[in-house]
Amino acid sequence: MSTKKLRRYTKQRRLVHDAIINRTDHPTAKEIFNELKPSGIGIATVYRQLAAMVEDGILATVDYDSETRYDPLTSPHAHIVCSVCNRISDIELPRDVNDLAPENLGFEVNEIELTWKGICNNCQ
Amino acid sequence: MSTKKLRRYTKQRRLVHDAIINRTDHPTAKEIFNELKPSGIGIATVYRQLAAMVEDGILATVDYDSETRYDPLTSPHAHIVCSVCNRISDIELPRDVNDLAPENLGFEVNEIELTWKGICNNCQ
DNA sequence: TTTGTTATTGATAACCAATATCATTAAATT
DNA sequence: AATTTAATGATATTGGTTATCAATAACAAA
Ligand SMILES: [Mn+2]
Ligand SMILES: [Mn+2]
Ligand SMILES: [Zn+2]
Ligand SMILES: [Zn+2]
């Protein structure tokens, strides 16, 4: 059994938490850091707190363009990514996506990653 | 109109081409380099030739675990990734995957990325 | 063939996201 | 208040990848 790791409620933890928890734009650690810079927080702490939140199941990660982005929406969902403005948006995962799962090979599916890449209506 | 960039047929180009063209295991640049090491090829050249082949449409890229992997299968297809042995395998893209496209928002889809993560039968 | 042009090469410096190190600080407990 | 120790911030280090550049070799022209 796994019990949730104890965390101290530091000023920095609250800062990072509040900066990411309501976001829908999947920011990078650097972006969060830049926004919290005036507080005097260190970049390493931003990375550490984001990693801790992922470990605690509060955040999910999305890899894009060789950078890890953070997502407070942890339930299964798909993404659309605009190649012009690089905006990553959430979109509902098709309900019948499990019908598409690889039924063969005895592959045990844990996670589905579905992303549409293209151009958003703003950038067309 | 875009005409294909001229390439010189160097010994190194042939080496990299032959090392990747029939592979189904999505190797990294480092892996290709290690296999071609006895030829005396430089690591930068391996990266350059792989990038050139991507530019020419001969290879596709697959990002996994903070590394770029190269794929001679350039037609649209999905992947299954084993989190134990890290093996990336090709799988057919569901025929009706376009029915799942985001019809809303006027998003112009260029590319679909679909990956199942889990445990392959070998590793269970 | 020989010559000239220039894309390509290999060594390596530089880049950049991310992690490791470590002395100091400050939560949490006693 | 004293004690314990997780967390912090500065910064060194790591690892994948790209940039730089003098030397080389593919290709075209003569
Ligand atoms: Mn999301
Ligand atoms: Mn593939
Ligand atoms: Zn856009
Ligand atoms: Zn496996």
Q: Where residue B5 falls among pLDDT bands split at 50, 70, 90? A: confident
Which domain, by its residues, includes A99?
A: 77-118
Q: B20: which residues sit within 8 A by CB, 6+ positions away?
A: B27, B32, B50, B53, B59, B70, B72
Residue B83 in any domain: the answer is yes
CATH of the domain at A96: 3.30.1490
Q: Where residue A71 falls among pLDDT bands split at 50, 70, 90? A: very high
Query: Which of B85, B107, B110, B115 is most worth mutating to test chain A (most A CB atoms within 10 A of its CB)?
Result: B107
Residue A124 in any domain: the answer is no
**Structural contact between residues A34 and A19, judged by C-beta atoms closer than 8 angstroms:** no
Predicted local confidence at residue A52, as pLDDT: 98
On whether both A85 and A65 belong to a single domain, the answer is no
Residue B61 in any domain: the answer is yes
Predicted local confidence at residue A1, as pLDDT: 57
- pLDDT higher at B104 or A11: A11
- Final residue in a domain of this structure, among B71, B86, B105: B71
| % of chain B beyond a pLDDT of 70 | 90
Task: Give yes or no for A119 touching B (CB within 8 A).
Answer: yes
The mean pLDDT value for A70-80 works out to 96
Quick one: closest CA in B to A115, which residue? Answer: B113
Mind listing the pLDDT tens digit for each residue in B67-124? 999 999 999 999 999 998 999 999 988 776 666 666 666 888 899 999 999 999 889 8
Q: A64: which residues sit within 8 A by CB, 6+ positions away?
A: A26, A81, A86, A88
The model's pTM is 0.92
Cα A62 to ligand 3 centroid, rounded to whole Å: 18
Spatial separation of the C-alpha atoms in residues A8 and B51, rounded to whole Å: 46
On whether both B55 and B24 belong to a single domain, the answer is yes
Quick one: closest CA in B to A107, which residue? Answer: B120
Residue A2 in any domain: the answer is no
On whether both A89 and A53 belong to a single domain, the answer is no
Mind listing the pLDDT tens digit for each residue in A26-66? 999 999 999 999 999 999 999 999 999 999 999 999 999 99
CATH of the domain at B34: 1.10.10.10
pLDDT above 80: residue A100? no
Residue B97 in any domain: the answer is yes
Residue A5 in any domain: the answer is no
On whether both B22 and B64 belong to a single domain, the answer is yes
Question: Which residues, numbered 38 to 67 in chain B, qualify as contacts with chain A under a Cβ-Cβ cut-off of 8 Å?
Answer: 63, 66
On whether both B93 and B113 belong to a single domain, the answer is yes
Task: Give yes or no for B103 touching A (CB within 8 A).
Answer: no
Residue B2 in any domain: the answer is no
Count: domains in chain A: 2
On whether both A45 and A59 belong to a single domain, the answer is yes
On whether both B85 and B43 belong to a single domain, the answer is no
Predicted local confidence at residue A37, as pLDDT: 98
